[in-house]
Amino acid sequence: ELKVEQNPLFLSMQEGKNYTIYCNYSTTSDRLYWYRQDPGKSLESLFVLLSNGAVKQEGRLMASLDTKARLSTLHITAAVHDLSATYFCAVGAGGTSYGKLTFGQGTILTVHP
């Protein structure tokens, strides 16, 4: 059974600082997704990582995937208040379960002055 763990689950950051959110998963997969959820809203796709070594960047966020270590990271550079949200990673299932994603617990990020 695929298990996905994020850490930390809660992250309080000062504006301007850097930090990394980690996503570990338990079985082989070559597909990992990051989503953002604002309070009271739906989930929005941020990054699609489909191969070992994949790196994607959007503004102050950068995501990477190491399939050998079964690890993805979401790096935040020079945080700003607008990045405050909950971030989820999701890992794709293999074989006949293609399409099914397993989500991490989510990391609640708060950026304060």
Partner 1 sequence: DAEITQSPRHKITETGRQVTLACHQTWNHNNMFWYRQDLGHGLRLIHYSYGVQDTNKGEVSDGYSVSRSNTEDLPLTLESAASSQTSVYFCASSNTRRGPLGDTQYFGPGTRLTVL
Give the residues lining the site for partner 1 (CB under 8 A).
31, 33, 41-45, 48, 50, 88, 90, 92, 98-101, 103-106
> For residues 35 and 47, is the Cβ–Cβ distance under 8 A?
no
**Closest approach of Cβ 21 to partner 1, in Å?**
14
Residue whose CB is less far from partner 1, 25 or 33: 33
Residue whose CB is less far from partner 1, 80 or 108: 108
Contacts of 96 (CB under 8 A, 6+ apart): none
Burial tier of 71 (Cβ tally within 10 Å: 0-12, 13-18, 19+)? middle
**Closest approach of Cβ 89 to partner 1, in Å?**
11
Beta strands 85-92 and 32-37, pairing class? antiparallel
**Closest approach of Cβ 42 to partner 1, in Å?**
5
Residue whose CB is less far from partner 1, 5 or 15: 5
Residue whose CB is less far from partner 1, 25 or 104: 104
